[in-house]
Amino acid sequence: MSEPLILGIESTCDETGVALVRGRELLGDVVATSMDEYARFGGIIPEIASRAHLQSFLPTLDAALERADVDLSEVDAVAVCAGPGLIGSLTVGISAAKALAAATGTPLYGVNHVIGHLAVDELVDGPLPERFVGLIVSGGHSSILAVRDIATDVVELGGTLDDAAGEAFDKVGRLLGLPYPGGPHVDRLSQEGDRTAIRFPRGLAAGKDKERHRYDFSFSGLKTAVARYVESLEDQGLEVPQADVCAGFSEAVNDSLTAKAVQACLDEGVDALVIGGGFSANSRLRSLAAQRCEAAGLTLRVPPLRYCTDNGAQIAALGAAAVRAGVEPSPLDFAPDSAMPL
């Protein structure tokens, strides 16, 4: 008998994603985004995001079914992001998922969006390693996870104490006058700069808190250091070397992310690191992670970019893993959890 067909629904933030997965095979996925609406505000407006989900959901579902060449009646289970995320956005996706599960009489699985960023790698690179460390980096998260079973046994080793990596990039982009979201612009400029020209501080890298925060990050002090540096040049009427500032800042963020993720692999005795989340588009993260994993004898897995940003495939993949692991379905009255822990 073939493996069950899972419909995955993603709606934690500004992306409406629907995907169909059979086992570890991705049959079709479609993502709609309302990101274009936010450039003029400089940040996501939750009410606009919720309304966009409501408008996009059915067309996205239809497009995904068509792409996968399946009928809704063939779906064996529905998986949806239960959190963490924006409460209004989550509510739209979860309501739609409940309606579909109730109407088709299929089980419903509310799954963790963040863990989904790792699960999606199975659809691209094959079954996940038996044990591994995950690094999730996005506009909302920067976490290091120890994974023994993607559906049932994920432990958070550490995370950011303040800003997420993408958020820090967006804030530095803003202070340099770059368009929102600033992350990709800061990345682009950093590639033209000298990453050794300005050394910015690495948060939680040393000092008395070092052991307690072995796997934690802090990027807000770094962001303040960049702001001070830029302001002091401006006060003196000097030109800000934007590319060098971006390169030095990017180096500080990615030095912390990769050093701690590799350290976690060594401490946990695993030989694989999986990276996920929208920030994994960052060029320096990719090159430094590859370099450090190779030096430490670790296998590095990073899904292609379209599966690093929020999508329905990550939810369908985790739903499929939950079904495979025999996890109990969620009750139809489960509530979204905007701060869902792992």
Write out the binding residues for substrate.
136-140, 170, 183, 187, 282
Q: Are 76 and 330 in contact (CB under 8 A)?
A: no
User: Is residue 183 at the binding interface for ligand KG4, with CB under 6 A as the rule?
Assistant: yes
Using the minimum distance from each CB to Zn ion, give the nearer residue, 244 or 310: 310
β-sheet bridge partners, residue 30: 18
Using the minimum distance from each CB to ligand KG4, give the nearer residue, 181 or 193: 181
Computed from CA positions of residues 178, 44, 21, 83, in that sequence, does the dihedral angle turn out positive or negative? positive
User: Is residue 13 at the binding interface for ligand KG4, with CB under 6 A as the rule?
Assistant: yes
> Residue ranges for the binding site?
113, 117, 136-140, 170, 183, 187, 282, 310
Pattern 291-310, Zn ion, x by CB under 5 A:
-------------------x
Computed from CA positions of residues 268, 293, 243, 177, in that sequence, does the dihedral angle turn out positive or negative? negative
Q: Which does 216 bind (CB under 5 to 8 A by kind): ligand KG4, Zn ion, none?
A: none
Pattern 115-154, Zn ion, x by CB under 5 A:
-----------------------x----------------
Minimum CB distance to ligand KG4, residue 151 (Å): 21
Report phi then psi at 34, rounded to 5: -105, 15
Go through the chain and tell me how many residues it has.
Answer: 342
User: Is residue 280 at the binding interface for Zn ion, with CB under 5 A as the rule?
Assistant: no
Pattern 156-175, ligand KG4, x by CB under 6 A:
----------xx-xx-----
Q: Are 301 and 253 in contact (CB under 8 A)?
A: no
Report phi then psi at 24, rounded to 5: -110, 20
Which tokens in the block code for residue 269?
């005795």
Q: Cα 178–289–24 angle (5° rounding)?
A: 100
Site for Zn ion, rule CB under 5 A: 138, 310
